[in-house]
Amino acid sequence: MKLGTFMMPLHPPQRLPSETLPEDREAILLADKLGYSEALVGEHVTDLAENVTSCLMFLASLVHDTKNIVLGSGTVNMPNSHPAAIAAQVAMLDHLLKGRFIFGISPGGLMSDAEVFGNFKKDRNAIFLESINMVLDIWKMDAPYNLKGQFFEVTTENTKIPEIGQGTIIKPYQKPHPPIVVTAVAPHSKGVTEAAKRGWTPISANLSESCPTTSRSNWKAAFSKLQSTAIMKRSSDARPAISRLASQAKESSHAHPPPGAAEIRAFHKREFRPSGAAIRFSYGLRAQRSR
Q: At residue 250, does pLDDT exceed 50?
A: no
Q: Alpha-carbon distance 42 to 198, whole Å?
A: 23
Chain centroid to Cα 111, Å, comes to 18
The number of folded domains in the chain is 1
pLDDT single digits (tens) 137-185: 999 999 999 999 999 999 999 999 999 999 999 999 999 999 999 987 6
Query: DSSP string of 103-128?
Result: EEEE----HHHHHHTT-TTS-HHHHH
Q: What is the mean pLDDT of the chain?
A: 80
Check the CA dihedral 268-269-270-271 and report its sign.
positive
Is the model more confident about 226 or about 69? 69
Q: What's the average model confidence in pLDDT over 265-273?
A: 51
Domain that holds residue 264: 2-288
Residues 75 and 55: their CA atoms lie apart, in Å, by 7
59 or 267: which carries more pLDDT confidence? 59
CATH code (residue 98)? 3.20.20.30
pLDDT at 278 over 70: no
Strands (E), 42-131: 70-73, 76-77, 101-106
Strands 153-155 and 146-148: antiparallel
Separation CA 173–CA 95 (nearest Å): 5
| Residue 188 banded pLDDT, cuts 50, 70, 90 | low
Find the range with the poorest average confidence among 41-45, 72-76, 270-274: 270-274
User: Maximum distance among all alpha carbons in the chain?
Assistant: 62
Percent of residues, the chain, with pLDDT higher than 90: 62
What are 52-72's pLDDT values in tens digits?
A: 999 999 999 999 999 999 999
State the Cα–Cα distance between residues 70 and 37, nearest whole angstrom. Answer: 6
b/e string for 228-267 if b means 16 or more Cβ within 10 A?
eeeebeeeeeeeebbbbbbbbbbeebeeeebebbeebbee
Residue 1, classed as helix, strand or coil, is coil
